[in-house]
Protein backbone atom coordinates (compact mmCIF):
# COMPACT_ATOMS: atom_id res chain seq x y z
CA UNK A 1 0.00 0.00 0.00
CA UNK A 2 1.01 3.60 -0.46
CA UNK A 3 1.73 6.02 2.38
CA UNK A 4 3.28 9.46 2.39
CA UNK A 5 6.37 9.85 4.54
CA UNK A 6 7.49 13.43 5.00
CA UNK A 7 5.55 14.30 1.88
CA UNK A 8 7.06 11.55 -0.31
CA UNK A 9 4.93 8.60 -1.51
CA UNK A 10 6.32 5.23 -0.48
CA UNK A 11 5.14 1.67 -1.01
CA UNK A 12 5.11 -0.39 2.18
CA UNK A 13 3.60 -3.80 3.12
CA UNK A 14 -0.09 -3.73 4.05
CA UNK A 15 -0.89 -3.12 7.71
CA UNK A 16 2.71 -2.27 8.56
CA UNK A 17 3.18 -0.96 12.08
CA UNK A 18 4.81 2.38 12.65
CA UNK A 19 7.67 0.63 14.38
CA UNK A 20 8.31 -1.57 11.33
CA UNK A 21 8.34 1.52 9.14
CA UNK A 22 10.77 3.32 11.45
CA UNK A 23 13.02 0.25 11.46
CA UNK A 24 12.93 0.02 7.66
CA UNK A 25 14.05 3.65 7.47
CA UNK A 26 17.02 2.95 9.75
CA UNK A 27 15.67 5.34 12.37
CA UNK A 28 15.26 2.97 15.31
CA UNK A 29 16.39 4.52 18.57
CA UNK A 30 16.78 8.01 17.08
CA UNK A 31 15.38 11.03 18.89
CA UNK A 32 12.33 11.75 16.78
CA UNK A 33 8.61 12.39 16.92
CA UNK A 34 5.96 10.98 14.63
CA UNK A 35 2.53 12.13 13.62
CA UNK A 36 0.08 10.35 11.35
CA UNK A 37 -2.55 12.47 9.60
CA UNK A 38 -1.59 15.36 11.86
CA UNK A 39 -2.09 13.44 15.11
CA UNK A 40 0.85 12.62 17.35
CA UNK A 41 1.50 8.91 17.76
CA UNK A 42 3.33 8.54 21.09
CA UNK A 43 6.49 6.44 21.08
CA UNK A 44 4.83 3.90 23.37
CA UNK A 45 2.26 3.17 20.65
CA UNK A 46 4.58 2.79 17.66
CA UNK A 47 4.58 -1.00 17.77
CA UNK A 48 0.81 -1.42 17.88
CA UNK A 49 -0.10 1.45 15.53
CA UNK A 50 -1.06 0.04 12.10
CA UNK A 51 -0.73 2.27 9.07
CA UNK A 52 -3.48 2.53 6.49
CA UNK A 53 -3.52 3.33 2.78
CA UNK A 54 -2.57 6.95 2.02
CA UNK A 55 -1.73 7.80 5.62
CA UNK A 56 0.39 10.91 5.86
CA UNK A 57 3.29 10.23 8.19
CA UNK A 58 5.57 13.01 9.43
CA UNK A 59 8.83 12.09 11.13
CA UNK A 60 10.62 15.06 12.70
CA UNK A 61 13.71 15.72 14.76
CA UNK A 62 15.48 18.64 16.38
CA UNK A 63 17.84 20.75 14.30
CA UNK A 64 19.70 24.00 14.82
CA UNK A 65 17.46 27.02 15.18
CA UNK A 66 16.91 30.20 17.14
Partner 1 sequence: MTDQSQIQLPEDKPLEIAGRVYKSRLLVGTGKYRDMMETGHAIEASGAEIVTVAVRRTNLGQNPDEPNLLDVISPDSFTILPNTAGCYNARDAVRTCKLARELLNGHNLVKLEVLGEEKTLYPNMTETLVAAEELIRDGFQVMVYCSDDPLLCKRLEEMGCIAIMPLGAPIGSGLGIQNRYNIRLIVENASVPVLVDAGVGTASDATIAMELGCDGVLMNTAIAQAQDPIRMARAMKLAIESGREAYLSGRMPKKAYASASSPIDGIFF
Binding site for partner 1 (CB under 8 A): 5-8, 25-27, 30-35, 38, 40, 42-43, 58-66
> What is the nearest approach in angstroms of partner 1 to the Cβ of residue 17?
17
Q: Which is nearer to partner 1, 53 or 61 (CB)?
A: 61
Q: What is the DSSP letter of 55?
A: -
- CA separation for the pair 28, 52 (Å, rounded): 21
Going by C-alpha positions, the residue among 35, 30, 38 that lies closest to residue 18 is 35
Q: Which is nearer to partner 1, 1 or 41 (CB)?
A: 41
Amino acid sequence: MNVFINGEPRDIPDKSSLQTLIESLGLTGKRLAVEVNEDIVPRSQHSEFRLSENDRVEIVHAIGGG
